[in-house]
Amino acid sequence: MKLHRILRLASTAGLVLPLLPVVASGAELDLRTAGASGTINQAFFTNTDPQPTGSGYIDSFVRLRSNAGFEQGYNATARPVMPDVNTSPTFTHDIRLSNVPVVVNPTGAAAGSYYEFLLDINQNASNPYLTLYALRFYTNPNALTMAATLADLTSAAGTTLRWDLDTGSDSRIQLNYIFGSGSGSGDMYAYIPISAFAGASSSDYLYLYSAFGTEPGGTGTYFEANDGYEEWTSRGSSTPPPSVPDGGNSLALLGMGLIGLEAARRRISRGSLRQASRLNAA
Ligand SMILES: [Ca+2]
Ligand SMILES: [Ca+2]
Ligand SMILES: [Ca+2]
């Protein structure tokens, strides 16, 4: 007997059925058209409007890239990171929950308070679609000390899974690079309800795991990862890496070295100008 007939008979008979488990139906949110938005597991996702581009505006805390059709990983300051994750401490590092802006009643979403994240994807203009097939948010009171595998995050003492795109059913989000073309131009805002983080401290570390492209073993429509990196940011409020073994000092020294070089270059070019004006006067 078909499910809808059972339900109809049951309701006719005045029976109250227990809540049925959610069927893994492959929920798909399609954000490939301008202005598209939608809700999965109380989180709200929307295309971004055109916005300023370039480094500085997008301050990423995790960058992913692979040429194998799919890519996955999460942010952490610990090294090594998962294979598809960019190793630069500038682009991949720990953040705390307090670094993420809270937005009240974002346009189009159900009323409430949400943590806001911005995703910037980079794909070939000729093949601009991309599938986000996994997205999870974890917290931990302590910074991870190892981040080489997914298990280094999920099995670490203190790690709590706060929100998962695939809770209830295997979901995915279809994206279109064309709306935010170029590196540094965002493509999607994700608004995760703060209620999902009940019990977490604002000083807790936040770890964002995501996966893009053609999901291994997945069924349904997937668009593979190509071209440049995908990166997550929290709109101007993600902090620089809290501590980088030696790397911070080296970067600072490198910066001082560059300042010294620039000063020398200016001295030389001032000297050249004086020389040129003497020659002109002669
Ligand atoms: Ca982009
Ligand atoms: Ca999924
Ligand atoms: Ca890409």
Ligand index nearest the alpha carbon of residue 230 = 3
Q: Among residues 27, 23, 26, 45, which one has the least CA distance to residue 36?
A: 45
Q: How far is CA 145 from the centre of its chain?
A: 21
pLDDT tens-digit profile, the chain (282 residues):
444 454 454 444 444 444 443 334 568 999 999 889 999 999 999 988 656 555 556 679 999 999 899 999 999 999 999 999 999 999 999 999 999 999 999 999 999 999 999 999 999 999 999 999 999 999 999 999 999 999 999 999 999 999 999 999 999 999 999 876 566 667 899 999 999 999 999 999 999 999 999 999 998 899 999 999 999 998 654 444 333 333 333 333 333 444 444 444 444 444 444 444 444 444
Query: Are the C-beta atoms of residues 96 and 204 closer than 8 Å to each other?
Result: yes
- Confirm whether pTM is higher than 0.85: no
CA-to-CA separations, 113 to 37, 110, 116, 160, 161, in angstroms, rounded = 17, 9, 9, 20, 19
Ligand 3 center from residue 253 Cα (angstroms): 33
The residue type of 73 is G
Strand-strand pairing, 70-74 and 95-96: unpaired
Rounded to the nearest angstrom, the distance between the alpha carbon of 265 and the centre of ligand 2 is 53
Residue 263's contacts (CB-CB under 8 Å, 6 or more residues apart) are none
Cα atoms in the Cβ-side hemisphere of radius 13 Å centred on 36: 14
Residues written for the chain: 282
- CB atoms closer than 10 angstroms to residue 87: 10
Centre of ligand 1 to C-alpha 112, Å, is 28
Do residues 216 and 70 lie in contact, with contact meaning Cβ atoms separated by under 8 Å?
yes
How remote is the CA of residue 210 from the centroid of ligand 2, in Å? 10
How far away, in angstroms, is 69 Cα from ligand 3 center?
9
CA distance 197 to 209: 16
CA 40 to ligand 1 center in whole angstroms: 22
Joined together, the tokens standing for residue 41 give 């597991």
Residue 50 DSSP code: P
At CB < 8 A and 24+ separation, what contacts does 152-156 make?
Answer: 152/78, 153/74, 153/76, 153/207, 153/209
pLDDT of residue 35: 87
Ligand 2 centroid to 141 CA: how many Å?
Answer: 27
Burial bucket for residue 71 (CB in 10 Å: 0-12, 13-18, 19+): buried
Ligand 2 centroid distance, CA of 244 (Å) = 33
Q: Which ligand is nearest to the CA of 164?
A: 2
Comparing CA positions, the residue from 206, 213, 52 lying closest to residue 144 is 206
Cis ω on the peptide bond leading into residue 80 (within 30° of 0)? yes
Q: Give the closest ligand to the alpha carbon of residue 64.
A: 3
Strand residue runs (E) in the chain: 28-30, 37-40, 43-47, 60-64, 70-74, 95-96, 102-104, 113-120, 129-140, 160-164, 172-176, 188-193, 205-213, 230-233
